[in-house]
Chain A
C-alpha cells in the first residue's frame, strides 16, 4: 500500500512538473497561436486560448486536420454532430468539441475499416436479435450517410444539410433515425444514424488525444475528472468533489 501511494505521489509530481513547464512556455505558445490564427480563417472552432492551452509546447493543434473527409463532408459532419449534441447553457456542442475531427480520424483508421469485425461469409438480412449485418465498411456507411443527408435535404428543403435551420436539421436527422431513408446499397438510414450518434458521443467524451473532447470540456461539463489515477478519498465522501479533468497525456513518463 505504502509503495502504491508513493507511486501515485510520484506521478502527480511529474504531472505538476509538466504543467509548470507548460506554463513557462506559455508566452511563446501564445505568440505562435496568434500567428496561426491569422493565417487560418475558418469556422471558429479553434481559438487562441484553445491553441495555447493545448499540449504544452506546440503552437498549433496539429491534430486538427483531415485524414478522411473532404472539407465539404467535414462541414456536413460538423453540422450533424452539433445537432446530436448541441451547444447549450452547459457549454460547447459537439462541433466545438471537435467531434467531427474525431470521427474523421476514426473513420480513417481500423475502426472505419472494420478491421476487428467478422467479415467472412454471406451477409443476410438479420432477425431482430442478430445484430447488424451490413456489408458496408463504417467509413463507406458514414460517407453514404452524409451524401444522403444532403440529398434528402435538397429534396425536402431545397438546400444542402449545412444550409438548413437547426430545427430543419433535426427533422432530417429524425427521419434518418427512424430509418425512413434508404442509403447506398439498400442500407437503412437507421444504421448510419446510430453510427453518427455513437461516434458523436465518443467524440465528445473520449480522451482528447483522439481529436475530440477539446480541452476536456466535454468531461468538465458533467464534472467528470477524466483519467486520474485514484479516488480513494472521493469514493467515501458524502460531499460531491469536483476535480479538474486530466487526460491520458498526464500518464506519460
Chain B
C-alpha cells in the first residue's frame, strides 16, 4: 500500500551539505521544496552530551544504521563481494546535516589542474604519461568557472584560513583568519620553512572568531574542545548544515522537511523522473511523492545506488568501458606517514579541533615536476591536532605488542609525547574500480545493496612511496627520539580506519558518452534529475572533498532555477 501525495515542484533526497545548500538556494528564490531525509532532525541541543568518545566515535551514533543498509566490497572483479557488516573504514552520515554534522571541517578548493587533469597531463608530459587502465578525464568545467561558487560556500560556512600561493587564485580572502598555531604546528612550521617550503594553516570550518554569514546566521568561535571529528558541535562553531543552510531554508516557509523518510526509488516515465517512492523508517508506511524536478543528494553511495535501482542512466561496464553510472569510483591514500615519539616533551594533545593543522602545498597536484616519477598528482603533507582521544589513539613505537604490560606502559608514556607527519594523497581512477548493484545482498526493504569493487592503483602506491621520503625529511628536520616511517600503501581494507573521502560513480563531464552529468549536475540522460555530491568527481584530489561538493551544490542550485525558468531542457 502506497499513499500518493500531492505533486511537489522540487523534491530533494538527503539533507546534508548538498541537499541543504540546494534547498536553501531554491527556497530563497521562492521555489517550493520537499526535503526527504531518512534520519532524524538535529539541532545543537542534540549535542549536549557530545563529548562521549564511546557513543559517537566507536558506536557511530550519528552514522547510517548498517542493519538497514550497507555496501558490499570486493577487491577485484574475480572476488565475491561481501557486506561491510559493521563500520571499519568510511562512515556514512545520517540525519539532518548528514556527515556535515560530524565532519572535521577541513575545507579546501581543488586545484585548477584537477579540473583539466587529462589535458594538462597530456600537454605537459604527453599521452604516454597516462597508463591504459587509468580512465582519467577532464571535469567539463574550469577552476575559474567554479571560483565564485567556492566563494559562496566559504562565506556561507564561514571558513577560516589564509592565502596559499600554490593554489588557484581567489577573488576574495577567506571570511575569517586562520585558527591558532599550537606548539606541534609551530614545530612543523619551523622544520618545513627551513627546508624551503611555505607551510599554511589548514582552512577550517571551525570558526577562528565569531562570524555572521551573508544569510544572517551568527555563530561563535571554536573552543578547541577536541570532540569534533565524529561529533556534533554544541557551540555551533563548526560549519554544519543543521546550523546554517537548513535553518535558512526552514525560515522561508517553503521547505517541507520530512525526516525518517527513506527514498527507495526514483519513479520515471518516458525518459523523465516523475517523483520518488519513500518509506517511513519508523512506521514502515510507504509514500509516493511526485515532483517536477528530482534532486539526489544522498551521498556518493546512495546517489549511485538510487539511480541503479531506478534504472536511470546507463550502468558502467568495466569490461567494455561503456556506460557511466558507477564509473570512476575513487578514494584517497594516506600511507607514507612518519611518526615521531619524544622522550622529554609533552604536548597538550587532549585539545584540538577537527580542522586544526598545518600543511605544505609543494607536492600537491602538478606543483612539482613529474617527468622523472612514475605517477601523476600528489599529496598534502601535514601535521594535525584534532585532539587525541584515549580509546582511539594509542600510538606506540614499532615492536610494542598491542596488549599487555608493555602496551600499557608505552601507550601511557607516549600519550602526550608523539605526533605524526602525515599525507593525504590523490586517488586516480582505474577502469576496474567501480560501483554497481550487488547480485546477492539486499537492504532491509529488499533493494540490492551497492557493490564496491576497489583496490589501490599502481599510481597510488608509487605516490605514497615518494611522499614517504618527504614526510621522513620533515620528520628528521623536526627531530625526535624515535622516528618511524611507513613506506608503503598497504592494500585496501573495508575494516581499517582511513577516511570517508569516497568519490565518483555519477561523474560530471562534457561528453554524455563518458560522463553522467553536465556541469550543472544535471543528468545527460534524464534532464529533470540533478545528482549532487562527491559522486560527481571524475577523480579524487589530495584534499578533503566538501569544499568542492559545496561549490558544485551552489552551481547546481543555479542550474535548477534556470531549468525551471526555461521550462525544461538540457542546460548549457
Measured CB to CB, the residues of A under 8 A from B are 1, 3-4, 7-8, 83-86, 88, 90, 93, 111, 114-122, 124, 126-133, 170, 173, 177, 197, 200-202, 204-207, 210, 218-219, 221-232, 234-238, 240-241, 243, 248, 251
Chain A residues with CB below 8 A from B284, complex form: none
**Are B225 and A230 in contact (CB-based, < 8 A)?**
yes
A4: contacting residue among B54, B84, B223, B350, CB under 8 A: B223
Closest 6 CB pairs of A and B: A231-B351, A227-B51, A230-B223, A131-B495, A240-B346, A205-B390
Chain B residues with CB below 8 A from A229, complex form: 51, 223, 225
Question: Is B348 an interface position by the 8 A CB rule?
Answer: yes
Report whether over half of chain A's contact residues are helix, strand or loop; otherwise say mixed.
Answer: loop
**Are B495 and A121 in contact (CB-based, < 8 A)?**
no
**Are A210 and B54 in contact (CB-based, < 8 A)?**
yes
Given contacts A197-B402, A231-B226, 4 further A-B contacts (CB under 8 A): A90-B409, A117-B67, A133-B83, A240-B416
- Could you list 17 examples of A-B contacts with CB < 8 Å? A85-B407, A85-B408, A88-B408, A88-B409, A116-B67, A117-B67, A121-B83, A177-B403, A206-B54, A207-B53, A223-B415, A230-B225, A232-B223, A235-B182, A240-B346, A240-B347, A251-B48
Chain-A contact segment, one of B58-66, B361-369, B464-472, B518-526: B58-66
Distance of A197 Cα from B58 Cα, bound (Å): 14
Chain B residues with CB below 8 A from A232, complex form: 223-224
Question: Is B122 an interface position by the 8 A CB rule?
Answer: no
Chain A residues with CB below 8 A from B405, complex form: 86, 88
**Are A202 and B51 in contact (CB-based, < 8 A)?**
no
A-contacting residues, B448-503, CB 8 Å: 491-495
Distance of A177 Cα from B65 Cα, bound (Å): 30
**Are A1 and B416 in contact (CB-based, < 8 A)?**
no
A-contacting residues, B424-446, CB 8 Å: 440-442, 444
B408: contacting residue among A90, A128, A177, CB under 8 A: A90
Report the minimal beta-carbon distance from B74 to chain A, rounded to whole angstroms: 7
**Are B390 and A224 in contact (CB-based, < 8 A)?**
yes
Chain A residues with CB below 8 A from B441, complex form: 120-121
Chain B residues with CB below 8 A from A173, complex form: 403-404
Distance of A200 Cα from B390 Cα, bound (Å): 12
Q: Interface residue count for B (Cβ, 8 Å)?
A: 73
Decide: A197 near B403, CB < 8 A? Known: A131-B495, A231-B225. Answer: yes
Identify the closest chain B residue to A196 (Cβ).
Answer: B403
Question: Is B134 an interface position by the 8 A CB rule?
Answer: no
**Are A219 and B210 in contact (CB-based, < 8 A)?**
no
Question: Is B29 an interface position by the 8 A CB rule?
Answer: no
B59: contacting residue among A84, A90, A111, CB under 8 A: A111
**Are B86 and A118 in contact (CB-based, < 8 A)?**
yes
Chain A residues with CB below 8 A from B217, complex form: none
Distance of A116 Cα from B416 Cα, bound (Å): 33
B65: contacting residue among A116, A197, A206, CB under 8 A: A116
**Are A129 and B351 in contact (CB-based, < 8 A)?**
no
Identify the closest chain A residue to B64 (Cβ).
Answer: A116
Distance of A237 Cα from B67 Cα, bound (Å): 45
Chain B residues with CB below 8 A from A228, complex form: 51, 225
Distance of A231 Cα from B240 Cα, bound (Å): 21
**Are A127 and B79 in contact (CB-based, < 8 A)?**
yes
B412: contacting residue among A83, A130, A197, A222, CB under 8 A: A222
Decide: A90 near B412, CB < 8 A? Known: A130-B73, A240-B348. Answer: yes
**Are B83 and A251 in contact (CB-based, < 8 A)?**
no
**Are A238 and B82 in contact (CB-based, < 8 A)?**
no
Chain A residues with CB below 8 A from B79, complex form: 127
Distance of A117 Cα from B403 Cα, bound (Å): 26
Distance of A173 Cα from B402 Cα, bound (Å): 12
Question: Is B20 an interface position by the 8 A CB rule?
Answer: no
A205: contacting residue among B53, B80, B84, B237, CB under 8 A: B53
**Are B54 and A127 in contact (CB-based, < 8 A)?**
no
Chain B residues with CB below 8 A from A84, complex form: 403-404
